Amino acid sequence: MTERINEPITTLVTFTEKGIKPLAFRWGKNKYQIKKVTLAHTERKGNGLVYYFSVCDDVNYFKLAFDTRNFSWRLLELSS
């Protein structure tokens, strides 16, 4: 069951020649290591751009969002 979260997170990312890739993030007191980015897509919001990353660790699926308007990361969805 997918749970809607929509809370701010602290994210560790890498910028490669292929683009931006989240590696790990902290949500509250929990730290999650990202094992795989399964899908990435973007959405234009006004003049800004939001990057969405569907990612997995060993047991969970997460949907993360990076908003270029304020350079903030959010955890949008979680499914375990």
Question: Which residue, 33 or 79, is less far from another protein as judged by CB?
Answer: 79
Residues that bind another protein (CB under 8 A): 2, 36, 38-39, 41-43, 45-48, 52, 54, 56, 61, 63, 79
Rounded CA separation 47/61 (Å): 29
Specify burial of residue 50 (Cβ count, 10 A radius: 0-12, 13-18, 19+). middle
Rounded CA separation 66/80 (Å): 22
Question: Which residue, 29 or 59, is less far from another protein as judged by CB?
Answer: 59
Minimum CB separation of residue 76 from another protein in Å reads: 10
Minimum CB separation of residue 73 from another protein in Å reads: 18
